[in-house]
Structure 1
Amino acid sequence: MENFFDQYRDEVQPALKSKLEEFILFGYDSVTEEELWQYLCKKKWKREREAKLLYQIVNDILSVKIGEYMNFATVEAFKSPDWFGNQGKDELSKLL
């Protein structure tokens, strides 16, 4: 599902990389660029009704707080329909 902001992804890639480097400095090295982009699209820009200028998009990226992202990631993980995957289901079946 493509949204309005996807057209700017290549242009704002350095800002995404910078934010991910900041996450790494604070010990959150498992966050990927795609996950950060999904957070921005699904949470930060969810209700955007008008176009934003490039500097506003970059500002949104650089102002992401780790706690905000982690809260989003936690909620998304709980929404996931398949917690165990196929391999986990086999292990679960053995236990039960």
Structure 2
Amino acid sequence: MESEQWNHDEISEEIEAMCRSKAEEFRLLGYEYVTGKDIWNCISRHYVKEGTPPLHKLVNDIYSLKVNSYMNYLTIAAYRGINL
């Protein structure tokens, strides 16, 4: 059985698609202005200190993101004056 090799561009495209999918889920819940980039910014803030996680953790972090966690991220960013 051949193992499938992914290059960096393919992985990046898949991660972007996952973020867009999660943003679409949030839009269906009434959060109209969420984008895939917003989801990525929310998720990736943890990776600044930790470094890039294994792919399975990254996928889990994206798909398990809850609206409440995303809204907390936005609130904290607003308090800190971070321009999103």
Fold in common (TM above 0.5):
yes
Count of equivalent residues: 74
Q: How does the TM-score come out when normalised to structure 1?
A: 0.63
> In the alignment, which residue of structure 2 is the partner of 1:11?
14
Show the 5 A alignment for 1:18-57: 18-43=21-46, 45-48=47-50, 51-52=53-54, 54-57=55-58
Identity %: 34
Q: How does the TM-score come out when normalised to structure 2?
A: 0.70
- Greater RCO, CA 8 A, separation 6+: 1
Q: Secondary structure at the match of 2:14?
A: coil
Aligned structure 1 segments of 4 or more residues deviating by more than 6 angstroms? none
Asked which structure has the greater CA Rg, the reply is: 1
Question: Which structure 1 residue ranges, 5 or more long, are not aligned?
Answer: 1-6, 83-96
- Indicate the RMSD between aligned Cα atoms, in angstroms: 2.3
> In the alignment, which residue of structure 2 is the partner of 1:76?
77
- Distance in structure 1 (CA, Å) of the matches to 2:16 and 2:52: 22
Question: Which structure 2 residue ranges, 5 or more long, are not aligned?
Answer: 1-8
